[in-house]
Amino acid sequence: MFSPSEFRDLVSGQRRGLRASLLRMGLGLAEFPYAAAVRWRNRRYDSGVAAVERVDVPVVSVGNLTLGGTGKTPMVRWIAGWFRQRGLRVAVLSRGYGADDGGANDEALELEQRLPDVPHLENPDRVAAAQVAIDELDMQLLVLDDGFQHRRIARDLDVVLLDALEPFGFGHVFPRGTLREPVAGLRRANVIGLSRADMLSQDERDALRCQVRQWVPEAAWLELVHAPELLLSADGQEEPLESLRNRAVAAFCGLGNPAGFQHTLDACGYRVVDFREFPDHHRYNRSDVESLARWAERLDVEVILCTHKDLVKLALSRLGTRPLWAVAIGLDFLAGQTALEERLEALQPDVP
Q: What tens digit of pLDDT does each residue of 30-49 get?
A: 999 999 999 999 999 999 99
- The verdict on 119 and 17 lying in the same domain is no
In a shared domain, residues 317 and 346: yes
Look at residue 294 and tell me whether its pLDDT is greater than 80: yes
The reply to whether 116 and 176 lie within a common domain is yes
Does residue 251 belong to any structural domain of this protein? yes
Domain shared by 123 and 178, yes or no: yes
Same domain for 60 and 26 = no
Residue 255 lies in a domain: yes
> What band does 95 get if pLDDT is binned at 50, 70 and 90?
confident
Together in a domain, 23 and 98: no
Q: At 70, is the pLDDT very low, low, confident or very high (cuts 50, 70, 90)?
A: confident
Give the residue numbers spanning the domain of 29: 4-40
**46 domain-assigned:** no
Residue 149 lies in a domain: yes
184 in the same domain as 234: yes
**Residue 147 is assigned to a structural domain of this protein:** yes
Inform me whether the pLDDT recorded for 110 exceeds 90.
no
Whether residues 27 and 173 share a domain: the answer is: no
Residue 281 lies inside a defined structural domain of this protein: yes
Between 236 and 68, the more confident residue is 236
Residues 35 and 57 in one domain: no
In angstroms, the CA 89 to CA 139 distance is: 5
Asked if 205 and 338 sit in the same domain, the reply is yes
Please report whether residue 122 resides in a domain. Answer: yes
Mean pLDDT of 61-83: 91
User: What per-residue confidence (pLDDT) applies to 256?
Assistant: 79
- Assess whether 20 and 76 both reside in one domain: no
Domain with residue 307: its CATH number is 3.40.50.300
Distance set, CA 182 to CA 31, 34, 44, 174, 352 (Å): 11, 11, 15, 10, 42
Regarding whether 129 and 35 lie in a shared domain, the answer is no
Number of structural domains (the chain) is 2
According to the model, what pLDDT value does residue 232 have? 94
Q: Which residue has the higher pLDDT, 8 or 107?
A: 8
> Is the separation of the CB atoms in 323 and 303 below 8 Å?
yes
Q: Give the chain's mean pLDDT.
A: 92
Is residue 85 over pLDDT 80? Answer: yes
Please write the tens of the pLDDT for every residue from 123-178.
999 999 999 999 999 999 999 999 999 999 999 999 999 999 889 999 999 999 99
Residues 157 and 61 sit within 8 Å (Cβ to Cβ): yes
For residue 101, pLDDT beyond 70: no
- The yes-or-no verdict on residue 296 having pLDDT over 80 is yes
Residue 45 lies in a domain: no
CB 157 within 8 A of CB 347: yes
